[in-house]
Structure 1
Amino acid sequence: MKPGVFTQIYIQIVFSPKYRDRLLKKTIRGEVFSYMSGIITNRKHKSIIINGMADHVHILIGANPNDKISDLVGTIKRETSTFINEKRWFREKFHWQDGYGAFSYGRSQLDAIYKYIANQERHHEKKTFKEEYTELLKKFSIEYNENFLFEFFDNINEF
């Protein structure tokens, strides 16, 4: 950044594996999320917390204003797909689903959103990813067409 430029931009990013497959098992999440954090840091964003469930990821960053969120998400998806495929955790090639959600927060909201992301397992005992995601869209007054949302599972139990 240039001298004299001061920013404080917090963004939550949400996306899921292709076909909404529940591939992000607990056994690999830590390694995948750590790899994502490295990508975020290398692009000069601040990685605050990354967590999720088998079928989706939440990322909270302090955003670098010189890097577009769409470019960051594209890089995260591309590089983690390569990383996961090189690990050969799955018989088929791993891919992320097209699209993502990006939601902005103020500094006063960071503690609450951090706790929300940290407690994904407990949160999803009561709510499906579809309910969670559509609530975020509504909370942020984002107009959407159901036909263009992720494909969602109705079953909230992780296997």
Structure 2
Amino acid sequence: MSYVRIWVHLVFSTKNRHPYLTKNIRYKVQNHIIENCKQKSIFLQVINGYTEHMHCLISLGREQTIAKVAQLIKGESSFWINKNMLTKTPFMWQDDYFAVSVSESGLQAVTSYIKNQEIHHAKKSFDFEVKEFVDKYGFTLEKEDI
């Protein structure tokens, strides 16, 4: 019997970081993503976000990849948002995303960070948060990335 426990902090934004995800829409989208993940056997520990992005803490299954899970979450939720006309203009997620591994010892801190997105973004913008990720994890961004 295989045992796999790989935690991933996944972050993705709306196309051009447009602030589509008002509170009302964001909660509907989050609840839909939770249900979609259950149907697709994606273990989603926590999800939350702000007006232009989402954070997910997921545990990959033994046959799942980050790319496939991100595609299933983003693609299906985008389709659902448009089908239900939650936004006035067609909704899209940015093509790229940010994903980093999370150790077992870091789960509580990441869970708390994700749950407190509204408080967090009352103090700093998503652009600043992305810059912090870039500095912390040492990657470069193109303008159209997360």
TM-score, normalised with respect to structure 1: 0.84
Of structures 1 and 2, the larger Rg is shown by: 1
- In structure 1, give the amino acid aligned to 2:120: H
Where does 1:28-47 land on structure 2 (aligned, <5 Å)? 28-47=25-44
Segments of structure 2 that go 5 or more residues without pairing to the other structure are none
Match of 1:21 in 2: 18
Q: What is the alpha-carbon distance in structure 2 between the residues aligned to residue 135 and residue 14 of structure 1?
A: 13
The one-letter amino acid of 1:32's match is V
2:77 maps to which residue? 80
Tell me: CA distance 1:25–1:9, structure 2 relative to 1, closer, same or farther (3 Å). same
Residue pair 2:97, 2:145 contacting (<8 A) in 1 also? no
Number of positions where the alignment pairs a residue of Structure 1 with one of Structure 2: 146
**Cα distance change, pair 135–65 in 1 and its aligned pair in 2 (3 A):** farther
**1:113-137 Cα distance to aligned partner (Å, 9 max, x none):** 1110111111112211122122123
Aligned-partner Cα distance in 1 for 2:111–2:78: 25
RMSD of aligned residue pairs (Cα, Å)? 1.5
**Residue aligning to 1:114:** 111
Q: Which stretches of structure 1, 4 residues or more, deviate above 3 A after TM superposition?
A: 145-150
SS of equivalent to 1:24: coil
Letter in 2 for 1:57: M
| Alignment pair present for 1:60 and 2:57 | yes
Worse overlay, 69-78 or 53-62: 69-78
What is the TM-score with the length of structure 2 in the denominator? 0.91
Q: Which amino acid aligns with 1:36?
A: I
Find 1:105's aligned residue among 102, 107, 127: 102
Give how far 1:6 is off.
1.0
Question: 1:147 & 1:51 partners in 2: Cα distance?
Answer: 24
- For residues 113-152 of structure 1, what are the structure 2 equivalents within 5 Å? 113-141=110-138, 143-147=139-143, 149-150=145-146
Give the conservation status (yes or no) of the 8 Å contact 1:49–1:117. yes
Describe the superposition over 1:93-120 as per-residue Cα deviations: whole angstroms up to 9, x where unpaired: 1111110000110111111111101111
- List alignment gaps of at least 5 residues for structure 1: 151-159
